[in-house]
Amino acid sequence: MIIIIKYIALFAVFFVAMLAQASFLPYFNILGTVPNIVFTLFFVMAFFESKKEPYEGFVTAVTAGFFLDIFVPSFFGVSIISLLAVYYLQKLITRVIKEPREKYSVYHFIPFFALGFVAYKAIMYGFSILFEFPMNVGVHAAGELLFSIPFAVAGFYVYKIFFRSAERQENQLKLL
């Protein structure tokens, strides 16, 4: 029952993030780019994935990809495939590093985020190039990445402060 409530909450969080990205943030664009809040939220959640629930990142990728697919003018499923590829790439890199995630700093997170964002855009543009070549791909993607990094860093610290402290309290030994 708790898992169902957790996934409903996850769906609601991504729904609100997508609404903000599609309706509110376009009024605050810089050179025609807006931050990709849904990707940022997905990446923060995947980066701090719990070892207790190994499929949480998969569900997060599918949920975020679903909402991105609704608003992206491409074929349905491309964003889901892209986010799943980014999720497994991030999981592979963190497995190779073999350092506990609690020791990761923001200096680890920013390159991971940038690499994941570039991989996501490369896969997305790879599918769209098959049908038409979008103009100013590099400039638009670089602007979107630079605009998304402050939101990602804020999400990193919010997650690390609030959710990790709650997880540590769960793992403490209770004597009484």
User: Quick one: pLDDT at residue 158?
Assistant: 86
Domain count, the chain: 1
User: Quick one: pLDDT at residue 45?
Assistant: 85
| Residue at 157 is within a domain | yes
Find the domain containing 141 and state its range: 2-170
| Residue at 108 is within a domain | yes
User: Quick one: pLDDT at residue 130?
Assistant: 44
Q: How far apart are the first and last CA of the chain?
A: 27
Strand partners, 33: 30
What is the C-alpha separation between 87 and 64, in angstroms, rounded? 11
| Residue at 49 is within a domain | yes
What is the C-alpha separation between 18 and 36, in angstroms, rounded? 9
Give average pLDDT by consecutive 10-residue segment, the chain, 176 residues.
Answer: 80 88 80 81 83 78 87 77 86 72 74 86 67 57 82 87 62 50
| Residue at 175 is within a domain | no
Other CB atoms within a 10 A radius of the CB of residue 167 amount to 13
| Residue at 21 is within a domain | yes
What is the C-alpha separation between 153 and 85, in angstroms, rounded? 22
Residue type, 125: Y
| Residue at 176 is within a domain | no
CATH of the domain at 51: 1.10.1760
